A and B are shown apart, each in its own frame.
Chain A
Amino acid sequence: MHFHKYEKIWLSFGIVSLIVFLSVVGVSAFSQNHTPSGGMDTIDPEKVNETAPFDNPGVTQLDEDTYQVAIVALAFGYNAPDLRVPAGKEIIFKVTSTDVVHSFTVDNTKVNMMVVPGRITTKSYTFEEPGKYLILCNEYCGTGHHMMSTEIEVY
């Protein structure tokens, strides 16, 4: 199979670029804890409100530098009273759903996760800027989908 000299140059450049992209995201994800949201924890979708940490949704301080925020998503809102967290600390979001698939998305941040019934999505994030951040659902979940939102205050 004959490749023109220029096609060899182009494909080499292309493949090297792709390897660079993969290396940048791969190294940064696995060594600096920037993997996308996910996690392998499961939960009974019918017993969410009795299962920790969702039996006590909201903000819990785990230690000096770490806070956990447990949130229950449902059609069409988020059960997470009093969403207030400090800037500069690690915030570990844990989210699940009692009904259909939702998202939990904090505008202007890296926090943009799918919330799947039967599973718990975990995402660790540190807010740098204080302020009131819009949280919305961007995964279609029914007639009220576009009204599903809340807010988190970072102080």
Chain B
Amino acid sequence: MDKKQSDHDVNLKGTLVSVFFVGIVIVAIWVAVYLMYVAR
């Protein structure tokens, strides 16, 4: 199976956006608690 071909066949743009949403949640919560730590 041509691997590059199968990448074009399947549209995963929604997946990309969704996982980045998860990533942003992780980063945001981490930064918030980091700032809390620094402030104590």
Answer yes or no: A and B touching, Cβ < 8 Å: yes
Q: How large is the interface on A (under 10, 10 to 19, 20 to 34, 35 or more residues)?
A: 10 to 19
- Dominant secondary structure at the A interface: helix
Count: A-B pairs, CB below 8 Å: 28
Q: List 6 A-B contacts (CB under 8 A).
A: A2-B6, A4-B12, A10-B16, A10-B19, A17-B23, A17-B27
- Dominant secondary structure at the B interface: helix
Q: Once bound together, how far apart are the Cα atoms of A50 and B6, in whole Å? A: 74
Q: Once bound together, how far apart are the Cα atoms of A44 and B36, in whole Å? A: 37
Q: Once bound together, how far apart are the Cα atoms of A53 and B12, in whole Å? A: 63
A2 contacts B3, CB within 8 Å? yes
User: Which A residues are within 8 Å of any B CB, using their own CB?
Assistant: 2, 4-6, 9-10, 13-14, 17, 21, 24-25, 108-110
B40 contacts A110, CB within 8 Å? yes
In chain B, what residue has the closest Cβ to A2?
Answer: B3
